Structure 1
Amino acid sequence: MNQPIAHRKGVRSCTQHPLRSYISYSNLSPKFQAFVTSLDKIRIPNSVYEALTVSKWHKAILEEYSALEKNGTWVISELPPGKKTMGCKWIFSVKQKADGSVDRYKAHLVAKGYTQSYEIDYQETFAPVAKLNTVRVLLSIAANLNWPLFQLDVKNAFLNGDLIESMEI
């Protein structure tokens, strides 16, 4: 018996409404043009070894590491027999001001949580994130009552909780 053969529909194109007809750098304000064109000027390192060769990234790594130690994020201890550690990875980003100039270089050390298995390494997860509707209500109240609003960037915010699960091999 012959099986049906899938045919490719072809490449889609939107020639009726090309983006270039609606979006262009000339429609942007000079400040925003400067911001957009500066986005790709800074090389983001692909590894911690690459980052350590550039003084600005090296400084960002030391700041993150110092903050992690100051906050008591970890305690060095013996690994139980037959257990393995969860790895970590450095993530690098650049915070920019509205005019496109560099505000600061950021380095984050993050755990590779994706290596864990449900019901083996953990039982549940929880992410304390505000729902968008809640944020909208708060902004609406603040606007209607003329409350001042401030934006904050919290450096090194950590949840403090005891981890009772252990990593299996």
Structure 2
Amino acid sequence: MIAMQEEINQFEISEIWKLVPRPSNQCVIGIGWVFRNKMDENGIIVINKARLVAQGFNQEECIDYEETFALVARLEAIRMLLALAYFKDFVLY
């Protein structure tokens, strides 16, 4: 419950969404929670994470959404980008 409340608080702080009246001619897209336990190297649960996600199988592109984004960048992706930029002599700003 604490992880779910923290996720909702982050939405409010980031102003990601706003509550609007439901249009009478539109279907509502369902949501669901995805839970994950983060563990340390010994396998002991350190933190519980919760993510609120839309049920994607009900969405239609250009009707329900126009763009997608990743909430966080993975450290491995950043390392690969920096290695490729160094190898190809790219300039990153």
User: What TM-score results when the alignment is normalised by the length of structure 1?
Assistant: 0.39
1:138 matched to 2:82? The reply is yes
- State the one-letter code of the partner of 1:103: V
State the identity %.
24
Please give the alpha-carbon distance, in whole angstroms, between the structure 2 residues aligned to 1:117 and 1:86.
10
Cα distance, 1:133 vs structure 2: 8.5
In the TM superposition, what whole-angstrom CA distance separates every residue of 1:112-159 from its partner, at most 9, and x where no partner exists?
12211345x2586555678x89843524778xxxxxxxxxxxxxxxxx
Correspondence for 2:43 among 74, 97, 100 = 100
TM-score, scaled to structure 2: 0.65
- Structure 1 gap segments, 5+ residues each: 1-57, 143-169
Pick the structure with greater CA Rg. 1
Q: Which runs of 5+ in 2 are unaligned?
A: 87-93
SS in 2 for 1:60: helix
Aligned length: 83
Q: Using the alignment, how far apart are the partners of 1:101 and 1:112 within structure 2? A: 31
One-letter amino acid of the counterpart of residue 9, structure 2: S
Tell me: CA distance 1:59–1:137, structure 2 relative to 1, closer, same or farther (3 Å): closer
Going from structure 1 to structure 2, the CA distance change for 1:84 and 1:140 (only over 3 Å counts) comes to: closer
CA RMSD of aligned residues (A): 3.3
